[in-house]
Chains A and B, each alone.
Chain A
């Protein structure tokens, strides 16, 4: 298919223009181990490829190197008809440095180039205008002024595109060779001096808002308020959606098994498919809500400010300011959090952030915490006479997770400081103008987050779910205690002995590898209770009567804070780092650490 390539500097409005051109159907290609993401969509008979926004063809990191390599290949490719360089009309000089480099690259490959002068609505709002005809002459290529936001000029551009793409490009003399980096900078400056608008006009608004949002006191309060809002939304707003998904899955399971009638097939569908795979689908709405809010923060320009505010404190632990949002998201679910870590500029800090995210207490741990806290702490006990002790214990567990993450990242930072493979990039962050986000790219992004999550995690979840079900189901009719899984539990009981736990807990812990919240249901089954998820108080009473010691209980809680009991996260880490060694190594490492902490706790208390 004939191809159109879209490039531009970050925040020039490229994503929005891409969406306006291609509509809502698009594909995203990811490459293992790097954050490069190529979006493709369709416009007329053309395939439009959206390249990651960057400042230069000279790469700084491995990710940029791969992005630039892909761009080189695409421009060289015979199917490519046109290269569209998107410029931010209000920031002509900065956008031109990269655009001129791409123009030179396209010329070298005899490809046609067109410049899009986006954000023209902003220029007009200031009552200014840009001499398009003269600029066109200066650049030696067609220039289309438009606004991807207000759609002004977009129709004309769409109309012209097929014609532009068909224009055979005669080999042109390069006026600047690709290697002459200084000349691009000088030329961009000269063109801007001639045609650009005055920067203090553009930046006045942004700087005014920043005097408030970056203020030492008010900015801090605004930051806390926004993060509190983010945190609330993933729990309270996502909850009805999650409950709805759960109910829907339950309903489908019931209907289907009702039609088939009792037997092994229906048991399989009910427990392995709907129980196992369904348990993880419940997280899809939460992930989508989280992605939506992060997307709004990013497109509005606030995300860069949040990173700036957090940078200094987090750098004490070897992290970047951009690690904050992933950490916060990790309290909902590690998977979107690991995705959010993509924005971290330094590969080393990105890796450290990704590897410590699983220590955040995600929402799958909540049922486990709720059960064990109910077992260990009487309902109306207070701490220092004021705080509800159960609430304080919850808070303590969250805090313990964060503390562990900071300790681990400090250690990882010390041990990888000399690494040649993992380069550090300096923290240079553009603070973009504040803008009202457009729904189209957001919608696209939210949809994509759900699809990506299912694509990446579903296969592993399915396999593990199948294995666990087989082990727990056979020999048929024997019940969980006498099943293969029960036998394995008895066999490995000595491992759980130092924790003060017996085989029943061991089996529940193995089963919770699928997703942590499975622990509650599995333990319920071991105690002869069905539907324990809905009756945590009842199960807690049974466990109390059974005599779980305080030390073993606390150990078990701390085990769940630290252990990486989630195959979906392991699969995600494997995809993002590109190395299964790292993902499974981390699984083993946190498992051993969690075990040791639990043993110590069992002996202290």
Chain B
């Protein structure tokens, strides 16, 4: 299974689950921000030196660091 962190620039995918290593409140916040099951995500850009990536989720654009992005599991886009 792929995580959000492995997404390359311009690649799209669909959110599947959030790794339960994150605490409950963080998981629900991520879901409320749009990272809920079945939501399409598009990687807008990658930063050099493993800096935060930029993703478009629904109507918002977010920047996430590796520690969080690694915990979001994706199903490959159809």
Contacts and interface: CB of A to CB of B under 8 A. Distances in A.
B33 A428 contact: yes
B28 interface: yes
Contact of B59 (A58, A60, A203, A311): A203
Given A202-B59, A210-B44, A427 B26 contact: no
A321 B63 CA distance: 11
A199 B28 contact: no
Interface of B: 22, 25-26, 28-34, 36, 44-45, 47-52, 54, 56, 58-65, 67-68
Contact of A428 (B25, B30, B31, B56): B30
Given A55-B33, A58-B29, A94-B58, A429 B63 contact: yes
A200 to B, nearest CB: 8
A490 interface: no
Given A56-B28, A181-B28, A312-B51, A427 B68 contact: yes
Contacts of B32: 55-56, 58, 97-98, 181, 184-185
A428 B28 contact: no
A557 interface: no
Interface of A: 55-56, 58-60, 90-94, 97-98, 181-182, 184-185, 189, 192, 196, 199, 202-203, 206-207, 210-211, 214, 216, 304, 307-309, 311-312, 315, 321, 425-431
B60 A315 contact: no
A206 B56 CA distance: 11
B56 A203 contact: yes
A164 to B, nearest CB: 27
B58 A93 contact: yes
Given A185-B31, A312-B47, A92 B59 contact: yes
Contact of B52 (A93, A192, A308): A308
Contact of A311 (B31, B58, B62, B65): B65
B62 A430 contact: yes
A156 to B, nearest CB: 26
Nearest to A97: B32
A427 B62 CA distance: 10
A181 B62 CA distance: 21
Contact of B28 (A58, A94, A189): A58
A315 B58 contact: no
Contacts of B31: 181-182, 185
A427 B33 contact: no
Given A55-B29, A210-B54, A426 B62 contact: no
A426 B67 contact: yes
Contacts of B61: 203, 206-207, 210, 430-431
B54 to A, nearest CB: 7
Contacts of A430: 33, 60-63
A373 to B, nearest CB: 37
Contacts of B64: 426-429
Contacts of A203: 56, 59, 61
A60 B25 CA distance: 6
A216 B62 CA distance: 18
Given A55-B29, A427-B64, 6 more contacts: A207-B44, A308-B51, A308-B63, A426-B22, A429-B64, A430-B33
Nearest to B64: A428
Contacts of A192: 58-59
Contacts of A98: 32
A103 to B, nearest CB: 15
Given A55-B33, A60-B26, A92-B59, A315 B44 contact: no
Given A60-B25, A214-B45, A427-B68, A94 B52 contact: no
Instruction: Give the residue among B22, B45, B60 with the most A Cβ atoms within 10 A.
Output: B60
Contacts of A97: 32
B13 to A, nearest CB: 16
Given A192-B59, A203-B59, A308-B63, A431 B48 contact: no
A554 B25 CA distance: 51
10 A-B pairs with the lowest CB-CB distances in the bound complex, closest first: A312-B51, A199-B59, A427-B65, A426-B68, A91-B59, A431-B61, A429-B63, A308-B63, A56-B32, A97-B32
A94 B26 CA distance: 17
Nearest to A220: B48
Contacts of A308: 47, 51-52, 54, 63
Contacts of B48: 216
A311 B32 CA distance: 23
Given A214-B54, A311-B65, A58 B25 contact: yes
30 contacts: A55-B33, A56-B28, A56-B29, A58-B25, A60-B26, A90-B59, A91-B59, A93-B59, A94-B33, A181-B28, A181-B31, A185-B32, A189-B36, A189-B58, A192-B58, A203-B56, A203-B59, A207-B44, A304-B63, A309-B51, A312-B47, A312-B51, A315-B65, A427-B64, A428-B33, A428-B65, A429-B62, A430-B60, A430-B63, A431-B61
Nearest to B26: A426
Nearest to A304: B63
A184 B51 CA distance: 32
A300 to B, nearest CB: 15
